[in-house]
Amino acid sequence: MKVYISADIEGVAGVVHGEHTLRDGKEHDYARKLMTEEVNACIEGALEAGADEIVVNDSHGTMRNIYPDELHSKAMLLMGSPKKLAMVEGLTAEYDAVLFVGYHTRAGTNGVLNHTFSGRVIKTIKVNSTDMGEFGLNALVVGYFHVPTVFVSGCNLLADEARAVIPEIESAIVKESISRTAALNLSPSESRLLIRQGTKRSLKDVRSKTPFRMEGPFTVEIEFLNTGYADAVEILPIYERRNPLTVSFKNEDWLHCYRLIRGAIMIANSVQ
């Protein structure tokens, strides 16, 4: 069984603030260790379930967070950026299942550290009028390859968001959101136990599970936090200006849509 793990940091137990998530944060290195250990717990659960090939994609920020020398020896690590498919780079139809570790809720929710790809520039991303966060947008890429997304870990509100997209998904709730920068956290050891157990359950009878898919054509709307970001993105003719804060585009192919979303965010982030 070939398993793919996409790992973020905001949904990790004990991570609640920018000091944890930003490269220059005083507590960032400690958060990286917490992230690495939660990923290891997922790897252990996958091995117990019978996985014989595991790839981990470091999916947070610069994508250089997981400590390679502390990662479980049975997994390979995809790290660094930019990547064309970002948080799901390297995914193919050869995988049997995908698991998301340390994920967070979409921008504008009450989830701890909520945002959608970039808290600096993005207000909302809508696909066919449905507001979607990183979980849904990435799960659509997974489904594009006809692979099921079977597991997610993070806060209680992220678990709700994931179940709204994939009702049967297995989840490990490692903290309860209180505000954007506060949460009631399980201990790291208890969080890792839940992740290992949930991973193992999620991979049982995995070939019978249904990938999350939406049929095109897709209309994508990206609403920015600042009109200057929309000004910059609108320069490329693929994007149509809907209103001062919003650009949109249409495409039949979800993989193209995902890359256009990522491209728009990179352009917006270049604006000072």
Task: Give pLDDT tens digits for 15-34.
Answer: 999 999 999 999 999 999 99
CA distances for 249 relative to 107, 201, 242, angstroms: 20, 39, 10
Residue 72 annotated in active site: no
Kindly report the average pLDDT of the chain as a whole number: 97
What span, in angstroms and rounded, lies between the C-alpha atoms of 150 and 164?
Answer: 14
* Selected catalytic residue, list 17, 20, 115, 146: 115
The bridge status of strand 240-243 relative to strand 122-127 is unpaired
Task: Give pLDDT tens digits for 83-123.
Answer: 999 999 999 999 999 999 999 999 999 999 999 999 999 99
30 in helix, strand or coil?
helix
**Confidence (pLDDT) at 58:** 98
Beta strands in 32-117 (DSSP E): 53-58, 75-78, 97-101
Q: Which of 239, 228, 261 is nearest to 117 (CA)?
A: 261
What span, in angstroms and rounded, lies between the C-alpha atoms of 46 and 58?
Answer: 17
Residue 160 tokens read as: 């709700």
Task: Give pLDDT tens digits for 125-175.
Answer: 999 999 999 999 999 999 999 999 999 999 999 999 999 999 999 999 999
Task: Give pLDDT tens digits for 221-254.
Answer: 999 999 999 999 999 999 999 999 999 999 999 9
Residue 155 tokens read as: 């806060």
What span, in angstroms and rounded, lies between the C-alpha atoms of 104 and 126?
Answer: 17
Q: What's the start-to-end Cα distance of the chain, in Å?
A: 46
Residue 138 has φ and ψ, to the nearest 5°, of -70, -40
